[in-house]
Amino acid sequence: MSIKTIGILGGMVTTHFQEILRNIMNDNKIINIYIIK
């Protein structure tokens, strides 16, 4: 495996992780809205 490949894979994992975190945050916002209502 070249360093470039590892870098691309690392970047993909980070982006995927950020998307998961964003989805969790969005779910929490929806839950908070329901709790407030």
Residue 33 has pLDDT above 80, yes or no: no
The secondary structure of 5-30, three-state, reads HHHHHHHHHHHHHHHHHHHHHHHHHH
Both ends of the chain: CA-CA distance in Å? Answer: 53
* Domain count within the chain: 1
Residue 37 has pLDDT above 70, yes or no: no
What's the mean per-residue pLDDT of the chain? 77
Confidence band, pLDDT 50/70/90 cuts, at residue 1: low
Look up residue 11 and give its two tokens. Answer: 């970047």
Provide mean pLDDT across the span 19-36. 76
Q: Which residues constitute the domain of residue 6?
A: 1-37
Provide mean pLDDT across the span 10-16. 81
